[in-house]
Structure 1
């Protein structure tokens, strides 16, 4: 007989193996080992069951039902930008361009650049929401609607660079499929969401994930996004402008940005932001952003010591725009703003958020510190200059 089987460890090993098999059998019977081949049902079925349990009345085909119902309202947006290609005799050297600029660049030929994005129809007569960066600078915009024979020429109705939102219009009758805007404020971290778009030109691609965070500030080039929804639903180039849907098939966000350094992290503009500015985009062609006319700086320990402050709270006015609301109200460089219309200002971001939530034309009280003394002025918030 094998020496191992006669050794003192044989009983222990046999007991351990028997215990593992017993636990596996119990787990399989209890349905815990979903997705393990040969043991129980698939992980996808488990997820569907969980969704149905949490949302009474929704069956295991919830995602498929959503896609079938609202998917036809998701459109593909192709753009064309005309330009010229140049030859630079200085090989684009920044030293020479500093002195000579572009005066020696030689135009060689016309160049056509193409772009791709997504969007979705919000009215039966052809109004479409998308990102501003999808159609920025485009000379030609084509919209492809599922089930239609050919693309439609679209015109830009309104756009806003800072919010990265745009409204397009196509003339394709009055019976187009639509997707309703939902309430992004009620979305919770962990809620299931569905993204539909055209990543890499793969039309009507569907991905599923959850809301992984809310209120994310993200900076991409010259855009400073605020209050974005973060999701792990796959979002790739070409998804921009497409809808992020809740399990009722309502839009809770517009897919906007991805994190190039991370996999599985995407961001969407909340539908509450879209609702607040949609009428202005359609009726006025743009959005009036509130503006105070100051450049701000964080209060550091050195600055606090210089100004004789007890703490680092407040927003230091680094400069004042000539003729702006702040200058008209009497604010100067070096003032430290500590309250805005009754709300505490602990840092520059606080003031930016407070001003951003103020209606253009409103009168606001601004409390600040100058020369160790607290002062108060009244300013009238104006629309941001182009």
Structure 2
């Protein structure tokens, strides 16, 4: 026991200092990757090296990416003129009798405006956005970051099923543009950046990660089959804007929001866009093959009711009148067992075959009808 108070105080101070130093070194061991830890470096460099080791995505990386890509992101304003709106007086019987069949002189056309986002993909002014952003628009205005007055845009091509549209604007100068990346190389958990105009707020930037890939999503009457999911905030007005990786490449087009949840947004993969981009520019649309049937996957119960010995295949629950299937002789209740000698396990197999085919292709179906099997050839038409 140390009786001298000053000596005891000194010893306690030394012990406290040793404990504090051990705690600091222990913290370094916790935060530094084991293979990169160097005690000498930690002792001389302090916490700055710890920060760089655990935060490879520095605050400047996102800011630099935004600075580099933002000039190519545009605001899209749409104007739609509909029929004359009803004048409140014209609904009154007295005024209807007074004016007869004439519409009151003060009736005004109903003009509605919409807002969305897009981005330039070539220096000569091609712009990508969502189809639903420009659908039914009579006039499309595109606002560049460095110009107050908008440029009038022309629709070059659009596809409702994929929710994609290509616009064209004209400028006397070469325009900044973004590159489409390869979303196959993007991993779940990677950082992404969304730039757009939510609620009309120009060039709003949000950041997050890729939450999932290959999401099928139903949004109102649209069925998206393969979307990227992100927790970067995407709100009304973001539609059509780019989802970027940290290299500044577009890996998706922001398109859908789950309004009932927080931190869930969706984007059309860049590779989906690239697969149809040339077709949209050259032809203005995407041609899809069509057979004209409604299909249902067989199960044991349905197979028993139809008197089938096996539940393999898919049954036609309906045939569209005048469709290629109708013209080929297919009927409701037919069971498709194979297409081009490839067995059909369920309704999804038929859909996959049609989607991979081209307009004008002939496909041979092995069909079971009334206990017997036969081959029927269908020539696919344009949807």
Whether the TM-score (by the shorter chain) exceeds 0.5 is yes
Per the alignment, residue 81 of structure 1 pairs with 80
Q: How does 1:94-113 map to 2 (within 5 A)?
A: 109-113=108-112
CA-to-partner distance for each residue in 1:221-250, whole Å, 9 max, x for gaps? 222211111111111101100111122211
Aligned length: 338
In the TM superposition, residue 310 of structure 1 has moved relative to its aligned partner by: 4.9
Per the alignment, residue 178 of structure 1 pairs with 177
> In 2, distance between residues paired with 1:221 and 1:65?
37
In the TM superposition, residue 189 of structure 1 has moved relative to its aligned partner by: 2.1
* Secondary structure of the structure 2 residue equivalent to 1:355: helix
Distance 1:49 1:238, change over 3 A: same
Per the alignment, residue 360 of structure 1 pairs with 359
> In 1, distance between residues paired with 2:29 and 2:87?
70
Residues 1:49 and 2:55 aligned together: yes
Preserved CA contact (<8 Å) 2:31 2:54: no
Question: Greater shift after overlay, 323-332 or 122-131?
Answer: 323-332
In the TM superposition, residue 32 of structure 1 has moved relative to its aligned partner by: 4.1
What CA RMSD, in Å, does the superposition of the two structures yield over aligned residues?
3.2
Per the alignment, residue 18 of structure 1 pairs with none
In the TM superposition, residue 169 of structure 1 has moved relative to its aligned partner by: 0.8
Per the alignment, residue 295 of structure 1 pairs with 294
Per the alignment, residue 14 of structure 1 pairs with none
Question: Greater shift after overlay, 193-202 or 323-332?
Answer: 323-332
Q: How does 1:107-146 map to 2 (within 5 A)?
A: 109-146=108-145
Q: How does 1:156-167 map to 2 (within 5 A)?
A: 156-167=155-166
Structure 1: segments with no counterpart, 5+ residues: 1-20, 34-39, 52-58, 92-103
> In 1, distance between residues paired with 2:21 and 2:374?
76
* Secondary structure of the structure 2 residue equivalent to 1:50: coil
Residues 1:195 and 2:174 aligned together: no
Distance 1:23 1:144, change over 3 A: farther
In the TM superposition, residue 153 of structure 1 has moved relative to its aligned partner by: 1.0
> In 2, distance between residues paired with 1:340 and 1:81?
46
Preserved CA contact (<8 Å) 2:117 2:239: yes
In the TM superposition, residue 88 of structure 1 has moved relative to its aligned partner by: 9.6
Preserved CA contact (<8 Å) 1:280 1:286: yes
Distance 1:306 1:120, change over 3 A: same
> In 2, distance between residues paired with 1:127 and 1:134?
16
TM-score for the superposition, normalised by structure 2:
0.79
In the TM superposition, residue 340 of structure 1 has moved relative to its aligned partner by: 3.1
Distance 1:331 1:63, change over 3 A: same
CA-to-partner distance for each residue in 1:146-204, whole Å, 9 max, x for gaps? 11242111111111111111111111134100001111233222222211111111111
In the TM superposition, residue 336 of structure 1 has moved relative to its aligned partner by: 1.9
CA-to-partner distance for each residue in 1:310-356, whole Å, 9 max, x for gaps? 55443221111223222233321111223334554333333223312
* Secondary structure of the structure 1 residue equivalent to 2:316: strand
Preserved CA contact (<8 Å) 2:118 2:241: yes
In the TM superposition, residue 301 of structure 1 has moved relative to its aligned partner by: 4.4
Question: Greater shift after overlay, 108-117 or 149-158?
Answer: 108-117
Per the alignment, residue 70 of structure 1 pairs with 69
